[in-house]
Amino acid sequence: MHDLRRQALESGKTVSRKAKSRQSSAASSKNASPAVSRNASRVASRSASDDEGNLSDTTDFSTASIDDLSASIEEIDDQPGGWTQHLADMVTLITDRKRSSVQGREGTINHFSRILMAHYAKDEIFSSIEELVPALLKCARAGASERESVLALKAIALILITAPSDVSYDTLGQSLRSIVTDAQSGEVKVAAIHTLSVAVFYGGASLEETEDVMTLLLEIVESDGTSVEAEDDADVVTASLEAWGFLATQLDDMEDSSEEAVDALADQLESSHTNVQIAAGENIALLYEKSCTELEEDEDPQDAEIDVDPETYTANGPKMIRRYPVYGREHMLIQKLSELSNISTKRLSKKDRRTMHSSFPDIVKTVEHPSHGTKTLRVGIGGNVMHIKTWEQLQRFKALKRVLQSGFVIHYTENEAVFETIPLILSERQRTTKGVSTTRPHSGRMEYVNGMLGVGDDGE
pLDDT tens digit sequence for 278-290? 999 999 999 999 9
* pLDDT reported for residue 201: 98
Average pLDDT score over residue span 290-311: 79
Average pLDDT score over residue span 345-355: 85
Pairing of strands 320-322, 377-381: unpaired
CB neighbours of residue 422 within 10 Å = 24
Rounded to whole angstroms, how far apart are CA atoms 263 and 14?
18
Return the higher-pLDDT residue of 443 and 297: 297
What's the one-letter identity of residue 133? V
Rounded percentage of the chain residues whose pLDDT exceeds 70: 74
Return the higher-pLDDT residue of 81 and 447: 81
| HSE toward the beta carbon, residue 120, CA cutoff 13 A | 14
* pLDDT reported for residue 337: 97
Give the pLDDT band (50/70/90) at residue 415: very high
Give the pLDDT band (50/70/90) at residue 424: confident
Rounded to whole angstroms, how far apart are CA atoms 230 and 226?
5
Beta pairing partners, 381: 384
Pairing of strands 448-449, 292-294: unpaired
Average pLDDT score over residue span 238-253: 96
Rounded to whole angstroms, how far apart are CA atoms 152 and 176?
12
Taking only the tens place, the pLDDT of each residue in 136-146 is 999 999 989 99
Taking only the tens place, the pLDDT of each residue in 219-230 is 999 999 999 999
**Whether 82 contacts 119, CB under 8 Å:** no
* pLDDT reported for residue 73: 60
* pLDDT reported for residue 246: 98
Per-residue HEC secondary structure of 295-307 comes to CCCCCCHHHCCEC
Per-residue HEC secondary structure of the chain comes to CCCHHHHHHHCCCCCCHHHHHHHHHHHCCCCCCCCCCCCCCCCCCCCCCCCHHHCCCCCCCCCCCHHHCCCCHHHHHHCCCHHHHHHHHHHHHHHCCCCCCHHHHHHHHHHHHHHHHHCCCHHHHHHHHHHHHHHHHHHHHHCCCHHHHHHHHHHHHHHHHHCCCCCHHHHHHHHHHHHHHHCCCHHHHHHHHHHHHHHHHHCCCCHHHHHHHHHHHHHHHHCCCHHHCCCCCHHHHHHHHHHHHHHHCCCCCCHHHHHHHHHHHHHHCCCCCHHHHHHHHHHHHHHHHHCEEECCCCCCHHHCCECCCCCCCCCCCCCEEECCCCCCCHHHHHHHHHHHHCCCCCCCCHHHHHHHHHHHHHHHHHHHCCCCCCCCEEEEECCEEEEECCHHHHHHHHHHHHHHHHHHHHHHHHCHHHHHHCCCCCCHHHHHHHCCCCCCCCCCCCCEECCEECCCCCCC
Rg of the chain taking only CA atoms, in angstroms: 22
Give the pLDDT band (50/70/90) at residue 70: very low
pLDDT > 60? residue 460: no
Return the higher-pLDDT residue of 427 and 134: 134
* pLDDT reported for residue 202: 98
Give the pLDDT band (50/70/90) at residue 236: very high
Rounded to whole angstroms, how far apart are CA atoms 8 and 268?
14
Angle, in degrees to the nearest 10, between helices 168-182 and 207-222: 10
pLDDT > 80? residue 446: no
What's the one-letter identity of residue 367? V
Average pLDDT score over residue span 426-451: 38
* pLDDT reported for residue 383: 80
* pLDDT reported for residue 348: 85
Taking only the tens place, the pLDDT of each residue in 319-342 is 888 899 999 999 999 999 999 999
* pLDDT reported for residue 177: 98
What's the one-letter identity of residue 251? L
pTM of the model: 0.80
Give the pLDDT band (50/70/90) at residue 60: low
pLDDT > 60? residue 438: no
Burial label, 101 (beta-carbon count in 10 A; 0-12, 13-18, 19+):
exposed
Rounded percentage of the chain residues whose pLDDT exceeds 90: 59
Burial label, 419 (beta-carbon count in 10 A; 0-12, 13-18, 19+):
middle
